[in-house]
C-alpha cells in the first residue's frame, strides 16, 4: 500500500537530502535491512509504504514536514521504519531565510527464534541542523513473553552523540563526537483484570555511557479502573526521569562563563503525574463526580568535571501542582445540569545548590535572580451549566463561573496580586421549522486585578465586557442556504484609583460586527458561494462616573469572497476576494520625490498623524480531482495590496500637493501563493 500527500508553493521545497551529517548513519541502517533480507531465502510476504509531505506558508515563515512509514515482512523478519522530517524557514529583517531542520529516523526489526522468544534490532537517528547536533543508537535485544499479556525486552548496543563543544576564544565551537555502550529495558503489561480491577502497566528505560557524558531515560506508567455497580473508580500514574549532558551551557546562569573544554553540564528532570476519578450515583439521574490531579517536577543542574578555579552555578528547581474537583451531574430527558467546585495550588521554588562554593557577591546576585521567578498560587472556582428544552422547538443554555486567584511572590518580585473573574452566558435557540432556526447569545464578564505591592497598586483595574450575538440559519429551498449573524460588544477598563497629578487611563472598546454566508446551487454540479463581513471598532478614553467617552480611534474592516464551484469528480473553483481596513495612526511616514530638474529628483519623507487604508484584492482559484484512490487539489490566489494615507495637520506649503499625491498613491505589492496537494494509494 502506498499513500503520498504533497504540498508545494511558489518557492522550492528544501530537499531532505541536504542533511549530509546524517547520511552515514542512515546508510548504516539501510545496510542492516539488506543484510536481513539476504540472510533469508524466503521472499517478500507483505510490504507497505506510506508517505506524507506538507508545506505551509505564513507571513514570514515557511514550514515543510514529511513522514515516511515503511513496514514489511521479509522472511521471518518483521521490519518497521519511520522517518519524520521538519524544516522551518523564517524570513528575517535582512530578507534572508533562516532554516531550522530536524530529522528523526526509527528502525525496528523483529523475528521469532523460539516459542515466546524473539530477536530484535532497534536503530535511532536524530538530527538537528540549526544546533549542529545529532544522536544515533543501534541495539540488539531479546523479547520474551512469559504469558500472553506480558512482554519483556532487554537490548544492548552502542550509542553516539555529536554536538558543539566549548568555545575557545573567537573560534567557532568545535564539534564533539562521543560514543559508548547503550542498554535498554522495557516491560509491557496489556490491560487485564486482576481481582476485579482492569490493570495496565508499561515501563521502559534506556541508558548510554558516551564518555565523558551520560544519557538516561526512565518511564513508568500504570492505570487501574474498577466499576462498583453504577459507580466507577479510575486512577492513572506516570513517572519519568531524564538526564542530558551537554558541553555548552543550557542554564542561563552558566551562559557566558569561562569553562574548560572537558567540562559538561548535566540536567536531570524527574516528573510524577497522578490522577484519580470517582463517579458515584446518588439517585436516578444524579451523579457525584470527584477528581484529583497531582503533578510534581524536580530539575537539577550540575557541572561535574568543572575546573576548581571556574565559577559555575548549580541549581535545584521544584514545582508542585495540585487540582481537586467536586461536582454534581444531573441528567434527565429534557434537562442536563452540572455544578462543579475546584481548588488548585501551584508552588515553584529555585535554589542555588552550590552557594557555599561561590563568592558572596555572586551568591547574592544569583539568589535574587532566581527568587524573582518563584511564586505560590491558589485558585478557587465554582462553575455550572444548565441545558434544557422549554418547548419542543425552544431550548436554552446557561453557563457561569466565578474564579478567585491568589498569586504570591517574594518581595523582589512586584507581581504579587489577587484576581477575581466572573463570567456568564445565556443562549436561547428557536427552531421555527426545518427551514428556519434563530439563536441569541448573551455574554458578560467581570475581571478585577489587584496588585498588593504599593509600587504597582496604580495598575489595579476592572474590566467589564458585554456581548450580544444573534444569528439566523435559513434554508428557503433545497438549493439555497443563508446564514446571517451580528454581534455587539462593549468592553470597559477602569482603574481602581488615579494618583494625584496623573490622568486616568480608563478606556472603552465598542464593536459592531455583521457576517453573512450564502450558498446557492445554480445547476446540477455548479454552486455559488458568497461570504461577507463588516466590523466597526471604536476606541476611546472613558469617563466612568459620567459613563461618557472621548473617541480617539476607529477601526473598520470590510471583507468579501465570491466563489463559483463546478464539477463532480473534476471540480473547479473560481473566485474573487476583497479586504479593506481603515484606522487612525499617530505617526504615518510618507516618502515622496521632489524634482530638481527634468532628469534628477530628490527623495524626502514626512511624518504626521493621519488615516491609513489597507486594500487587498485579487482572484482565487482551486481545482479538485478524485479518481479511485487518487486525489489532486490545487489552490492558487493572488492579492494586490495597496497602502494609502491621508495626513492631518499642516504640511509644508511648497510641497503640500506633492506630499498629498504620494500619500494617496501609497505603496503597492503583489502577494501570490500556490499550493498543490496530491494523494494516491496503491494496494
Average pLDDT value for residue range 506-529: 95
| Residues 602 and 591 sit within 8 Å (Cβ to Cβ) | no
Residue 258 lies in a domain: no
In angstroms, the CA 532 to CA 579 distance is: 10
Residue 580 lies in a domain: yes
In angstroms, the CA 567 to CA 676 distance is: 19
Q: Hey, which bits of 524-569 come out as E strands?
A: 526-543, 548-566
Average pLDDT value for residue range 238-242: 97
What the block records as the C-alpha cell of 45 is 510476504
In angstroms, the CA 385 to CA 86 distance is: 42
In this model, does residue 36 exceed pLDDT 80? no
Average pLDDT value for residue range 196-206: 93
In angstroms, the CA 250 to CA 416 distance is: 29
Residue 617 lies in a domain: yes
Residue partners of 282: CB distance under 8 A and separation at least 6: 288
Residue 375, pLDDT score: 95
For residue 602, give Cα distances in angstroms to 354, 593, 605: 64, 5, 10
269-300, pLDDT tens digit by residue?
Answer: 999 999 999 999 998 889 999 999 999 999 99
456-501, pLDDT tens digit by residue?
Answer: 888 899 999 999 999 999 999 999 999 999 999 999 999 988 888 7
In angstroms, the CA 561 to CA 617 distance is: 10
What is the domain range of residue 617? 567-683
In angstroms, the CA 426 to CA 22 distance is: 58
Residue 152 lies in a domain: no
| Residues 497 and 506 sit within 8 Å (Cβ to Cβ) | no
pLDDT band at residue 626 under the 50/70/90 scheme? confident
- Kindly report the pTM of this predicted structure: 0.81
Residue 339 lies in a domain: no
Backbone dihedral angles phi then psi of residue 661, each to the nearest 5 degrees: -65, -40
Task: Give the residue carrying C-alpha cell 530539575.
Answer: 299
Residue 624 lies in a domain: yes
Q: Is the peptide bond before 27 cis (omega within 30 degrees of 0)?
A: no
In this model, does residue 55 exceed pLDDT 90? no
Residue 521 lies in a domain: no
Residue 43, pLDDT score: 47
Residue 548 lies in a domain: no
The total number of structural domains that make up the chain: 1
Residue 120, pLDDT score: 93
Backbone dihedral angles phi then psi of residue 495, each to the nearest 5 degrees: -80, 150
Number of Cβ within a 10 Å radius of residue 141: 19
Mean residue pLDDT of the chain comes to 86
Which of residues 264 and 261 earns the better pLDDT score?
Answer: 264
Which of residues 178 and 306 earns the better pLDDT score?
Answer: 178
Amino acid at each position: 500500500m502506498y499513500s503520498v500527500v504533497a504540498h508545494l508553493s511558489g518557492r522550492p521545497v528544501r530537499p531532505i537530502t541536504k542533511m549530509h551529517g546524517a547520511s552515514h548513519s542512515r546508510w548504516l541502517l539501510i545496510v542492516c535491512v539488506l543484510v536481513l533480507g539476504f540472510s533469508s531465502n524466503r521472499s517478500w510476504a507483505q510490504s507497505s509504504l506510506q508517505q506524507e509531505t506538507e508545506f505551509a506558508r505564513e507571513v514570514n515563515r515557511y514550514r515543510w514536514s514529511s513522514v515516511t512509514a515503511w513496514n514489511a515482512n521479509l522472511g521471518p523478519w518483521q521490519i518497521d521504519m519511520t522517518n519524520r522530517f521538519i524544516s522551518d524557514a523564517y524570513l528575517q529583517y535582512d530578507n534572508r531565510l533562516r532554516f531550522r531542520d530536524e530529522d528523526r529516523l526509527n528502525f525496528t526489526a523483529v523475528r521469532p527464534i523460539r516459542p515466546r522468544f524473539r530477536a530484535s534490532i532497534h536503530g535511532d537517528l536524530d538530527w538537528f541542523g540549526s544546533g549542529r547536533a545529532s544522536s544515533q543508537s543501534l541495539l540488539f535485544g531479546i523479547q520474551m513473553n512469559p504469558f500472553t499479556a506480558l512482554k519483556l525486552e532487554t537490548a544492548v548496543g552502542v550509542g553516539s552523540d555529536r554536538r558543539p563543544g566549548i568555545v575557545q576564544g573567537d573560534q567557532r565551537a568545535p564539534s564533539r563526537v562521543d560514543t559508548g555502550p547503550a542498554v535498554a529495558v522495557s516491560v509491557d503489561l496489556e490491560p487485564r483484570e486482576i481481582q476485579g480491577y482492569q490493570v495496565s502497566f508499561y515501563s521502559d528505560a534506556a541508558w548510554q555511557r558516551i564518555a565523558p557524558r551520560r544519557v538516561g531515560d526512565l518511564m513508568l506508567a500504570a492505570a487501574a479502573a474498577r466499576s462498583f455497580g453504577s459507580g466507577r473508580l479510575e486512577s492513572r500514574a506516570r513517572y519519568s526521569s531524564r538526564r542530558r549532558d551537554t558541553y555548552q551551557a543550557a542554564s542561563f546562569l552558566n551562559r557566558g562563563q569561562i569553562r574548560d573544554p572537558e567540562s559538561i553540564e548535566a540536567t536531570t528532570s524527574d516528573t510524577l503525574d497522578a490522577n484519580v476519578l470517582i463517579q458515584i450515583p446518588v439517585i436516578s439521574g444524579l451523579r457525584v463526580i470527584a477528581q484529583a490531579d497531582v503533578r510534581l517536577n524536580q530539575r537539577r543542574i550540575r557541572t561535574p568535571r568543572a575546573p576548581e578555579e571556574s565559577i559555575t552555578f548549580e541549581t535545584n528547581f521544584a514545582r508542585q501542582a495540585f487540582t481537586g474537583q467536586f461536582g454534581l451531574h444531573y441528567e434527565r430527558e429534557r434537562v442536563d445540569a452540572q455544578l462543579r467546585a475546584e481548588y488548585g495550588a501551584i508552588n515553584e521554588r529555585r535554589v542555588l545548590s552550590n552557594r557555599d562554593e561561590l563568592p558572596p557577591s555572586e551568591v547574592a546576585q544569583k539568589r535574587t535572580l532566581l527568587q524573582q521567578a518563584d511564586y505560590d498560587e491558589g485558585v478557587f472556582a465554582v462553575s455550572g451549566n444548565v441545558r434544557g428544552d422549554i418547548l419542543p422547538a425552544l431550548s436554552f443554555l446557561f453557563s457561569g463561573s466565578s474564579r478567585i486567584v491568589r498569586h504570591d511572590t517574594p518581595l523582589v518580585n512586584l507581581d504579587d496580586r489577587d484576581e477575581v473573574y466572573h463570567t456568564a452566558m445565556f443562549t436561547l435557540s428557536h427552531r421555527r421549522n426545518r427551514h428556519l432556526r434563530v439563536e441569541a447569545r448573551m455574554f458578560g464578564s467581570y475581571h478585577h486585578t489587584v496588585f498588593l505591592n504599593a509600587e504597582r497598586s496604580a495598575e489595579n483595574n476592572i474590566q467589564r465586557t458585554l456581548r450580544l450575538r444573534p444569528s439566523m440559519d435559513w434554508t428557503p429551498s433545497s438549493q439555497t442556504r443563508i446564514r446571517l449573524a451580528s454581534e455587539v460588544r462593549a468592553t470597559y477598563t477602569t482603574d481602581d484609583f488615579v494618583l494625584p497629578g496623573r490622568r486616568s487611563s480608563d478606556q472603552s472598546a465598542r464593536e459592531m460586527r455583521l457576517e453573512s454566508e450564502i450558498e446557492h446551487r445554480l445547476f446540477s454540479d455548479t454552486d455559488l458561494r458568497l461570504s461577507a463581513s463588516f466590523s466597526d471598532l471604536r476606541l476611546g478614553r472613558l469617563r466612568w462616573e459620567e459613563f461618557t467617552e472621548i473617541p480617539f480611534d476607529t477601526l473598520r474592516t470590510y471583507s468579501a469572497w465570491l466563489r463559483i464551484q463546478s464539477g463532480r469528480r473534476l471540480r473547479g473553483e473560481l473566485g474573487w476576494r476583497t479586504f479593506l481596513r481603515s484606522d487612525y495612526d499617530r505617526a504615518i511616514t510618507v516618502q515622496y520625490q521632489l524634482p530638481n530638474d527634468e532628469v534628477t529628483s530628490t527623495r524626502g519623507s514626512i511624518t504626521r498623524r493621519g488615516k491609513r487604508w489597507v486594500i487587498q484584492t485579487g482572484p482565487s482559484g482551486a481545482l479538485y480531482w478524485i479518481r479511485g484512490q487518487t486525489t489532486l487539489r490545487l489552490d492558487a490566489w493572488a492579492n494586490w495590496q495597496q497602502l494609502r494615507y491621508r495626513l492631518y495637520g499642516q504640511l509644508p506649503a511648497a510641497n503640500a500637493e506633492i506630499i498629498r499625491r504620494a500619500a494617496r498613491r501609497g505603496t503597492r505589492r503583489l502577494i501570490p501563493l500556490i499550493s498543490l496537494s496530491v494523494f494516491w494509494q496503491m494496494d
